[in-house]
């Protein structure tokens, strides 16, 4: 877990140096710290979310996606306590019964205010980490941004970081998980049952694996896992050739995918090209 006080100390030292360079460097350190805070939480959910399924790489959006699809505790504040008291398989029934048990505190996860974090993260790059594209009216090009604007943003980040007091991070989910093993690489793939929709599309979490799946929920809340593949017939022996769909997602126009048949060793090529289909023109009724 990131030592936030150490980060603040480093950023403050750069602020005190008070040069254009040291302030720019302070802005960079701020931005990296904000990214780290998000990514260290994302890391705890690796077993639930494939990098391939990330909708947006920006730190805030990754945490938002975990919150929407896996567990919204990821950005919330909460404390965890455990009890050493044996309850012998009995579950306390009422709130009072829970509260009557003696607990030892494990720690607190701090809230991560995502909108504020995102606006600071964005603001830092605006004031310090890019040279604005010049225009006819912008005058000289400067390597560094305006000192006072950078300082203000860095001070805002320090105040944001100072508010994060947690000493614990928790990943995963308390509820029941639905899991299965990847067809190709046997890696366990899982999602909290309550997060699964009628149809959920997900990829294998192994970064070297190209498999992806559709999980379908039926009326009885049973799940069916369907491998996302495209089938071809081998021209040599008619064997079914199954190619994971994700191989095609990376193909560009006119690019070729080579497929070798495991049975007769024949090499086939699949070329990525537009396919035109037409439907019968509908005749307007009179
Ligand atoms: Zn896999
Ligand atoms: Zn074949």
* pLDDT, tens only, 175-224: 899 999 999 999 999 999 999 999 999 999 999 999 999 999 988 889 99
Question: Closest-lying ligand to the alpha carbon of 266?
Answer: 2
- Give a yes or no: residue 282 inside a domain: no
Determine the pLDDT at residue 227: 97
Q: What is the CA(188)–ligand 1 centre distance, in A?
A: 8
Does 33 share its domain with 57?
yes
Residue 286 has pLDDT above 70, yes or no: no
Question: Closest-lying ligand to the alpha carbon of 228?
Answer: 1
Question: Closest-lying ligand to the alpha carbon of 263?
Answer: 2
The dihedral sign for the CA sequence 135, 137, 142, 147: negative
Q: Report which of 154, 169, 145 is spatially closest to residue 37, judged by C-alpha positions.
A: 169
> Going along the chain, which residue ranges are E strands?
78-82, 104-109, 177-181, 188-192, 199-203, 212-217, 223-227, 229-233, 240-244, 256-260, 267-271
Q: What is the CA(208)–ligand 1 centre distance, in A?
A: 8
- Give a yes or no: residue 112 inside a domain: yes
pLDDT per position as a tens digit, 132-175: 899 998 889 999 999 999 999 999 999 999 999 999 999 988 88
Determine the pLDDT at residue 283: 66
Does 31 share its domain with 150?
yes
Q: What is the CA(101)–ligand 2 centre distance, in A?
A: 66
Boundaries of domain holding 257: 233-271
d(CA 258, CA 265): 12
Determine the pLDDT at residue 284: 67
- Give a yes or no: residue 100 inside a domain: yes
**Phi, psi at residue 276, to the nearest 5°?**
-100, 135
Strand, coil or helix: 170: coil
- Give a yes or no: residue 28 inside a domain: yes
pLDDT per position as a tens digit, 30-77: 999 999 999 999 999 999 999 999 999 999 999 999 999 999 999 999
Does 110 share its domain with 60?
yes
Does 23 share its domain with 155?
yes
Determine the pLDDT at residue 3: 96
**pTM for the whole structure:** 0.86
Does 42 share its domain with 73?
yes
Does 64 share its domain with 195?
no
Q: What is the CA(243)–ligand 2 centre distance, in A?
A: 14
pLDDT per position as a tens digit, 97-127: 888 888 899 999 999 999 999 999 999 999 9
Residue 91 has pLDDT above 90, yes or no: no
Q: What is the CA(258)–ligand 2 centre distance, in A?
A: 13
- Give a yes or no: residue 279 inside a domain: no
Q: What is the CA(275)–ligand 2 centre distance, in A?
A: 25
Q: What is the CA(260)–ligand 1 centre distance, in A?
A: 20
Q: What is the CA(257)–ligand 2 centre distance, in A?
A: 16
Does 65 share its domain with 106?
yes
- Give a yes or no: residue 89 inside a domain: no
Structure-token pair, residue 176: 């029941």
Does 25 share its domain with 50?
yes
Does 188 share its domain with 256?
no
pLDDT grade, residue 88 (50/70/90)?
A: confident
Determine the pLDDT at residue 252: 94
CA 283 to chain centre: 49
pLDDT per position as a tens digit, 217-245: 988 889 999 999 999 999 999 999 999 99
Are 157 and 120 in contact by the 8 Å Cβ rule? The answer is: yes
Question: Closest-lying ligand to the alpha carbon of 208?
Answer: 1
- Give a yes or no: residue 277 inside a domain: no
Structure-token pair, residue 83: 């009890």
Residue 90 has pLDDT above 80, yes or no: no
Structure-token pair, residue 189: 């793939």
Does 11 share its domain with 120?
yes
d(CA 161, CA 180): 39
Residue 285 has pLDDT above 70, yes or no: no
- Give a yes or no: residue 169 inside a domain: no
Question: Closest-lying ligand to the alpha carbon of 264?
Answer: 2
Does 182 share its domain with 213?
yes
Strand, coil or helix: 4: helix
Q: What is the CA(229)–ligand 2 centre distance, in A?
A: 18
Does 112 share its domain with 156?
yes
Domain total in the chain:
3
d(CA 93, CA 233): 59
Determine the pLDDT at residue 85: 78
Contacts of 39 (CB under 8 A, 6+ apart): 59, 62
């Amino acid at each position: 877990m990131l030592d936030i006080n150490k980060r603040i100390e480093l950023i403050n030292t750069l602020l005190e140096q008070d040069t254009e360079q040291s302030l720019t460097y302070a802005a960079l350190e701020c931005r990296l710290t904000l990214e780290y805070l998000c990514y260290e939480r994302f890391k705890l959910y690796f077993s639930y979310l494939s990098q391939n399924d990330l909708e947006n790489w920006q730190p805030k959006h990754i945490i938002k996606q975990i919150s929407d699809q896996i567990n919204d505790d990821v950005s919330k504040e909460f404390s965890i306590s455990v009890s050493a008291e044996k309850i012998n398989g009995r579950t306390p029934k009422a709130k009072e019964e829970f509260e009557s048990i003696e607990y030892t505190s494990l720690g607190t996860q701090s809230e991560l205010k995502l909108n504020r974090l995102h606006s600071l993260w964005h603001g830092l790059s605006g004031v310090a980490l890019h040279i604005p594209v010049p225009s006819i009216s912008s005058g000289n090009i400067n390597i560094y941004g305006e000192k006072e604007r950078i300082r203000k943003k860095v001070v805002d980040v320090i105040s944001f970081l100072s508010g994060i007091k947690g000493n614990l991070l928790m990943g995963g989910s308390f509820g029941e998980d639905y899991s299965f093993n990847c067809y190709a690489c046997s890696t366990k793939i899982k999602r909290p049952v309550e997060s699964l929709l009628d149809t959920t599309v997900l990829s294998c979490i192994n970064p070297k694996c190209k498999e992806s799946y559709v999980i379908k929920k039926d009326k009885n809340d049973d799940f069916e896992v369907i491998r996302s593949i495209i089938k071809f017939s081998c021209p040599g022996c008619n064997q079914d050739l199954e190619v994971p769909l994700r191989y095609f997602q990376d193909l560009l126009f006119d690019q070729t995918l080579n497929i070798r048949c495991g049975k007769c060793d024949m090499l086939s090529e699949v070329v990525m090209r537009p396919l035109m289909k037409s439907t019968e023109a509908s005749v307007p009724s009179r």
